[in-house]
Amino acid sequence: MLPEVRFRLPDDQIVGAAPGALIGRSYTADVRIDDGRVSEVHAYVSLRASQLVMLALRGRVRCEGRDMPRLELRPGQQIELAQGVALDVVAVQLPEQVLALEGDGVARQVLFGVTSVVTRPSPHLVTGYAADAGALLWSDGLAWRARVTGQRVRPLRAGDELVVDGVRLRAVAVPGAGAEAVETVPRSGGDRLRIVSLFDSVQVWREGASEPCLLKGRPARLVAELLSLGGPVRWEVLASDLWSDDADAATLRHRLDITLMKTRRLLVAAGVRRDLVTSHRNGWIELLLFPGDVADDRA
């Protein structure tokens, strides 16, 4: 069973979308919406572990009254792409099985996005691309491929084996529901956040708290930029927005890492979850908002 989501378009047409499908007004879009209020490449559908999600690209994705850079798709949802333009989620078909990797000294781990196999100092799997990886695994949303260093790209299916720097690994199929733990689980309602962005200062209110976590300077600008962008962004883009000089990539990355560290320290000290500002190993950074969180961008 291939994963698919079925949308009802504004003209009542029903369209299916598999992982990787683009949504927008472009004539090449898989889910084409011929409306000037919709971006050419507005959003796309992705399979994350065993869950189909919609990720905002160049446009807004709004559901249940709030903008969401990432939305887990469920039947019955109405997704607003622009004022007066909405999609209805008619059905969601999820995979019965997903692929995992296990082997010598490596616990079973569901594969997710791009995965690197690192063998030193001990064998382990890393989400995203790692320069020192002995093998790289990736999916197009339907099938997996593997490239062991020095070898050609090959398909990867359940039952296949890989030998990476002498470490033997096996690909195994696991029930789709078992992959859900790979994704971040929303917190309880008492942890809901309200984020007020004034650009040079940002207030992060925890539900029930008497005062906010107040961010100023670069930490405030970092959170404000992520909030205004409304979705995941490459670290290079974020760093160039924060520092307008002609510093090289290594200097910008160092500055950004220091700012991320300071921001998270301030959040944790105020009782706010550290992963509010999330860095992915593939170079993307996002403001991770859960259902119930409120973002108030006044910048």
Please report, for the domain that includes residue 58, its CATH number: 2.60.200.20
Instruction: Answer for the pair 123, 47: CB distance below 8 angstroms, yes or no.
Output: no
Residues 160, 223, single domain; the answer is no
Least confident of 7-11, 39-43, 121-125: 121-125
Q: Is the pLDDT of residue 217 over 80?
A: yes
Q: What does the alpha-carbon distance between residue 170 and residue 158 come to, in Å, rounded to a whole number?
A: 8
Residues 87, 137, single domain; the answer is no
Q: What does the alpha-carbon distance between residue 156 and residue 147 come to, in Å, rounded to a whole number?
A: 9
Q: Is the pLDDT of residue 1 over 70?
A: no
Structural domain harbouring 250: 189-297
Is pTM, for the whole model, over 0.85?
A: no
Q: What does the alpha-carbon distance between residue 75 and residue 93 come to, in Å, rounded to a whole number?
A: 10
- Domain boundary (149, 180, 211) is at 180
* Among the listed residues 99, 62, 98, 65, the one whose alpha carbon sits nearest the alpha carbon of residue 80: 62
Compute the CA torsion angle 148, 149, 150, 154 (nearest 10 deg): 20
Omega within 30 of 0 (cis) for the link into 10: no
Q: For 68-109, what is each residue's pLDDT tens digit?
A: 888 889 999 999 999 999 999 999 988 777 888 998 878 888
Residues 256, 276, single domain; the answer is yes
Instruction: Answer for the pair 136, 129: CB distance below 8 angstroms, yes or no.
Output: yes
- Domain boundary (93, 114, 129) is at 93
Chain centroid, CA 98 distance in Å? 18
Query: Per mean pLDDT, which of 122-126, 165-169, 186-190 is the most reliable?
Result: 165-169
- Domain boundary (93, 111, 140) is at 93
